[in-house]
Chains A and B, each alone.
Chain A
Amino acid sequence: MTDSKYFTTTKKGEIFELKAELNSDKKEKKKEAVKKVIASMTVGKDVSALFPDVVNCMQTDNLELKKLVYLYLMNYAKSQPDMAIMAVNTFVKDCEDPNPLIRALAVRTMGCIRVDKITEYLCEPLRKCLKDEDPYVRKTAAVCVAKLHDINAQLVEDQGFLDTLKDLISDSNPMVVANAVAALSEIAESHPNSNLLDLNPQTINKLLTALNECTEWGQIFILDCLANYTPRDDRESQSICERVTPRLSHANSAVVLSAVKVLMKFMEMLPKDLDYYGTLLKKLAPPLVTLLSAEPELQYVALRNINLIVQRRPEILKHEMKVFFVKYNDPIYVKLEKLDIMIRLASQANIAQVLAELKEYATEVDVDFVRKAVRAIGRCAIKVEQSAERCVSTLLDLIQTKVNYVVQEAIVVIKDIFRKYPNKYESVIATLCENLDSLDEPEARAAMIWIVGEYAERIDNADELLESFLEGFHDESTQVQLQLLTAIVKLFLKKPTETQELVQQVLSLATQDSDNPDLRDRGYIYWRLLSTDPVAAKEVVLAEKPLISEETDLIEPTLLEELICHIGTLASVYHKPPSAFVEGSRGVQHKRLPGSAGSGESVESPDPGAAATETPPAVIPSQGDLLGDLLNLDLTPTTTTGPPPPTTSGMQMGAMDLLSGGLDSLVGLLHQGPPSLSASPSTTTLGGDIGGNPAMGAAFGAAPATMPASFNAPGSGGLDDLFDLGGGVGMPMGALNPPKAVWLPAMKAKGLEISGVFVRRAGVIQMEMTLTNKAMSVMTDFAIQFNRNSFGLAPAGPLQILTPLSPNQSIEPLNNLQVAVKNNIDVFYFSCQYPISMLFVEDGKMERQVFLATWKDIPNDNESQFQIKDCHLNSDAASNKLQSSNIFTIAKRTVEGQDMLYQSMKLTNGIWVLAELRVQAGNPNYTVSSISLKCRAPEVSQCVFQNYEAVLKN
């Protein structure tokens, strides 16, 4: 006997019949009827009309019947909200049933009845079930909290269920813990700021303990939750990693991937020179490889994630190339992903093998796979320079197969090879041209046209080739049209005599007969360039372009970081941030990798500040270059709207004889053109040479999706919030005014950069600092504090002499100042040196008598002599210079052609320094030669001397 009989119906009056049966007195008949109802429901019939009759069957002691009725309820309660109330009593009663199975069933079903009105009746039963003695009931109740939260979040919060749920994390039963974690994570996801998963070392420890005991699914919940935690330091990070690594041996692929996620994230915090870091890297490879023996769908998820992992940490799988070789029976989606990873792992060491494989694949029959294999060969050429030649010859072999899509794909990639290695492989152009007629895909046509234009001077019949495309100009796709326009302009600039007609034709096609804005804009730009200044046009259009870079499709680093935090999830499969495809997640914070413990290192540095300032690898090696190229264009002609007078352009023409004929007609045409021309050069069209290229599209196309969407504060869109603490106070003339130096690099301070300088103004020492926020978030709560220092500098306080100089302090320069700056993120420490001249007070001019007495009074041991080299000043100039730094000349005398200047200065802490400066009156220049300093605190002499040098040589 099977249940399938319930699906056979009697059609007519069915509902009526069922109604009668449901109300039957016989238990057996009742149950049969309910089964029939459920069967109808299953096949999609609307049996909601039977609601009251079915609910009447709810109070039964037959468990199977009860389950069926509950199932019915879950399905139809929403459409019959008023009647759903009828069920409440039974729920409440069932929640107190002696059988835990019934209690759990009731609490499970309750949460699935998504009717707002009845939720409040469910709170009491739920509260009891959360404290039930049976773990089966508790684990079900934990999930119910998440369900209820989804329906009525406020209610759940008001009733304090969240706290009960948090308590369940400490439950003795691992399954309860796992469900509580899952429920809390789910709730936290919709309330990113609720701090629900208040993760701290204690809870983490509990979770790690439960990890060893719960089911495979529970382990996934816990690992996913752990991944949201940010350890306090590298030690904590390591200890968590150590406890998570055993999960890599779990048979369930999902457990493994979630463990990989935690490890990949926490690894960021480990110093790279740590032994454990290396151990961990080694431990990660084998499980990742084993994932490729899982079911194909899981392989696919694994491969998409491996793609991310090798971009972040290429060292993990660099020796595992072979496992990514494609098998004949792999599903297509696995094949394509494997190819991607093969290219990522391609290096000089394995390129021969990789190429042999790729060539094999390129002769397969699956079109998409073959195309991608051909493309991969091109990417290898670009990535591994040593292999370029071999790749090109492989591509030529493939072109000889004459398989149409292979040829087209090969031409597309050869174009990129040309862009990476210009003027190296043009011998193959002839072979390419032979296949011109077979090209029917826009991308291949555009690529071929680009090649012809770029190498027009070496292709004898370039004009014929391009002309042949021009005939069907309007049937071509935009991509081809744009390329054709550019290529013909290039051709014209290279061979002006024979191609005037052609260029006129294409310009008029592009500007007058087309309504595509890109095409028109580019057309007009070329037109005006050619008519205004053909020499400039040549320089602009035929200028050398930056080479394309190796990796054309790397994921932008910030996005990559975010995706690493989402390993195993849909985001990692799509390679898109969750905000791009999940509704209502726009406000949700983007996940970031934690900063590393050591000093941030260049490329590897996960430091958000550093990551943000790094230029992401794009097709164009450095954006500065491109920008520079663009700015080199002389844009002045474009600011005048309308055509420039022909005479001007005639004057500017260098190669007048070559162009005169063409130019007149060009200008003539220009006059016929629409009178108001848009004069704004668009960067996309100027970069048009590479426009329409897929690689570029990918690199730039990704940008909008990867822009960090939400900052905490409005208006902080710019990365550099400047808090200029200095201000534009004018400097006294002639005063020593050194530039600001970077005291605290952003890398060391989570994005806060401090540069500064000390100046003395109107008798006040000022520490001018520029605080630059290079991080992604707003910094607040700044405070500053100075460490105890030799001269008792204190911020914003009156200058007091607090600390006398201690005699044995000499390791650190005396003028070293240790500063702590605090903001909402952390406290940062740095030290900087201030010129001692800051401390020279204005009333530092000693009386002559006092000077003499003091000079004698200070023991000779305290005198230090210094040589000053290469300073050509006479005594007056030196004296003037020094005076602006509050070093006062008291007397001067000349002995044997040598000027002796006696000077004094007084430090803020009351120390006097006396100096005897000798100026050699040699020919032809005066030379300041040496200085003697006398001071009761001889420690400062060195600083003072340095200051002399600085001032005098400035």
Chain B
Amino acid sequence: MTGSCKVLICRNYKGDVDMAEIDRFLPLLMQHEEEGLLCPVLSHGKVHFMWIKHSNLYLVSTTNKNSNASLVYSFLYKIVEVFTEYFKELEEESIQDNFVVVYELLDELMDFGFPQTTDSKILQEYITQEGAKLEVGKSKVPTTVTNAVSWRSEGIKYKKNEVFIDVIESINVLVNANGSVMSSDIVGSIKLKTMLSGMPELRLGLNDRVLFGLTGRDKGKTVVMEDVKFHQCVRLSRFDSDRTISFIPPDGESELMSYRINTHVKPLIWIESVIEKFSHSRVEIMVKAKGQFKKQSVANNVEVRVPVPSDADSPKFKTSTGQAKYVPEKNMVVWTIKSFPGGKEFLMRAHFGLPSVENNELEGKPPVTVKFEIPYFTVSGIQVRYMKIIEKSGYQALPWVRYITQSGDYQLRTNV
């Protein structure tokens, strides 16, 4: 549905919910929004609406049963993913422009309320935007659809067999106003770009402490992963029994696994901020940023976002490095530092005027947020020890590894 809840396209999989029920959705949504009690599940009579919003579109599913809610949301997000891969952008126009394909996809994605094939790469093998060119007889169901390996087709060929491994760690930090770290964790993700022929068997070795514990090895630094999540290609039962990460990778880009590490990390970029608000006259902001990581490393594209009152005006800045910019539509100052070496400390001062007439509206207390990227480095110290690639044709393949650490949900509360 569009932002104004005009139904763009719909598919009634079970026929147990009247299609007219969707007309109830908008009033319900508005009512909840007004009451400030927005909720992902709304219900009217016996009909329940589970919805998500993507850019300007609502994806709404209706049911009158005790459906599996987590399945529904996972599926809705999957639809977004598939449509985005098909149409680049999922928006009103792309739906209208491709409504025939959209119908076809909806049929393939779900049957009678049961999600079916949702892997866009596989779907693209038999549902294409150039549907007109496909003649009956030519198009066949790729065996992949129902294969145990439903994420990779057979017969893929590359001249040069390579696989690129990106280890990306995001740091989530929550610091309260008096500077103590309330919570911090690392969410890591290992992404693959696979350019391998045939049906290769891959095995990934990490310096996982549990694995080392199992094999009795005790060399070098190891990492304890609190929780690990895998792409469906990874044999979970194998991992569960001996911590081996073995899989047949999907072709092209994919996220192989993600993990969470609970260790207390020192916030890599430490921010001290003093925001002084003098009612009716001015706001003075002083922000000190310190790189708390190794001197050899450099953080790139650092952005420190400092909240300012919505009625502030006439900004003035002074920075020891980088550039500060006022973004009035977001009520914040964005201080950008292109390159921030470890161990260094920088300062930014900002001055805003405040109108003499007090703004009556209460404002929240948004935190200072920070964005950054530190290449060639992982906070947790996780390492790819090996990537074994075995294919029956016996070709040699090269794995490439890249490490990067970046900011995740990085919030420092302020005292104003």
Contacts and interface: CB of A to CB of B under 8 A. Distances in A.
Contacts of A289: 226-227, 260
Interface in B127-173: 131-132, 134-137, 139-141, 145-146, 148, 150
Contacts of B323: none
A674 interface: no
Interface in B28-71: 36-41, 43, 46, 48, 50, 52, 63-71
A876 B129 CA distance: 111
B174 A2 contact: no
A869 B202 CA distance: 85
Contacts of B394: none
Nearest to A328: B367
Given A3-B98, A215-B117, 18 more contacts: A3-B99, A63-B134, A63-B135, A101-B140, A104-B141, A150-B16, A216-B232, A220-B71, A224-B68, A249-B239, A250-B236, A293-B260, A300-B40, A366-B36, A568-B68, A568-B70, A570-B66, A573-B69
24 contacts: A62-B135, A63-B131, A68-B103, A99-B139, A139-B116, A146-B112, A179-B116, A182-B114, A253-B73, A253-B74, A257-B70, A289-B227, A301-B40, A302-B70, A323-B183, A323-B185, A325-B183, A328-B364, A328-B411, A332-B37, A360-B413, A568-B70, A569-B69, A570-B41
A295 interface: yes
Given A101-B126, A246-B240, A328-B411, A364 B66 contact: no
B68 A61 contact: no
B25 to A, nearest CB: 15
Residue in B74, B135, B183 with the greatest tally of chain A CB atoms within 10 Å = B74
A57 to B, nearest CB: 14
Given A61-B136, A63-B136, A136-B146, A249 B228 contact: yes
A298 B52 CA distance: 10
B214 interface: no
B114 A221 contact: yes
Contacts of A31: 132
B146 A150 contact: no
Contacts of B69: 301, 568-570, 572-573
A333 interface: yes
Contacts of B150: 175, 215
Contact of A251 (B97, B229, B365): B229
A364 B366 CA distance: 9
Given A2-B98, A3-B98, A568-B69, A213 B239 contact: no
Interface in A347-396: 353, 356-357, 360, 363-368
Interface in B84-111: 93, 96-100, 103-104, 107, 111
A112 interface: yes
Interface in B345-382: 362-367
A35 B150 CA distance: 32
Contacts of B137: 61, 99
Interface size grouping (class) on chain B: 35 or more
Contacts of B75: 217, 254
A581 B239 CA distance: 40
Contacts of B111: 108, 140, 143, 179
Residue in A102, A179, A252, A360 with the greatest tally of chain B CB atoms within 10 Å = A252
4 closest A-B pairs by beta carbon, nearest first, are: A286-B227, A2-B97, A246-B236, A578-B66
B96 A4 contact: yes
Interface in A534-589: 566, 568-574, 578, 581-583, 585
B99 A290 contact: no
B231 interface: yes
B187 interface: yes
Given A3-B96, A365-B364, A290 B73 contact: no
A100 B66 contact: no
A662 interface: no
B327 interface: no
Interface in B265-299: none
Nearest to A224: B68
Contact of B37 (A64, A215, A368): A368
B343 interface: no
A147 interface: yes
Contacts of A220: 68, 71
Interface string A279-296: 000000011011001011
A249 B240 CA distance: 9
A420 to B, nearest CB: 29
A331 interface: yes
A254 B73 CA distance: 8
A300 B42 CA distance: 13
A254 B70 contact: yes
Contacts of A287: 227, 229
Given A253-B70, A333-B38, A570-B41, A212 B136 contact: no
B100 A108 contact: no
A310 to B, nearest CB: 18
Interface size grouping (class) on chain A: 35 or more
A99 B112 contact: no
Interface stretch (A37-45, A675-683, A823-831, A941-949): A37-45
Interface in A418-474: none
Contacts of B77: 295, 298
Contacts of A245: 240
B197 interface: no
Interface string B234-263: 011101100000000000000101101000
Contacts of A174: 148
A325 B181 CA distance: 12
A327 interface: yes
A344 interface: no
B96 to A, nearest CB: 4
Contacts of A297: 40, 50, 52, 73, 76
A693 interface: no
B232 A250 contact: yes
B39 A333 contact: yes
Interface stretch (B7-15, B312-320, B385-393, B398-406): B7-15
A324 to B, nearest CB: 9
B112 A143 contact: yes
A331 B37 CA distance: 10
A569 B41 CA distance: 11
Contacts of B230: 249-251
B115 interface: yes
A353 B16 CA distance: 49
B409 interface: yes
Contact of B67 (A250, A293, A569, A585): A569
Given A100-B140, A327-B409, A368 B240 contact: no
Interface string A174-214: 11100100110010010000000000000000000000111
A99 B96 contact: no
B176 interface: yes
Given A251-B231, A570-B67, A217 B240 contact: no
A174 B226 CA distance: 31
A4 B52 CA distance: 25
Contacts of A298: 70, 73-74, 77
Nearest to A251: B229
A247 B116 contact: no
A173 interface: yes
Contacts of A295: 52, 73, 77
B118 interface: yes
Contacts of B64: 582-583
A101 to B, nearest CB: 5
Nearest to B50: A297
B116 to A, nearest CB: 7
Contact of B74 (A42, A68, A252, A286): A252
Contact of B139 (A63, A140, A212, A301): A63
A134 interface: yes
A583 B43 CA distance: 14
B234 to A, nearest CB: 8
A609 interface: no
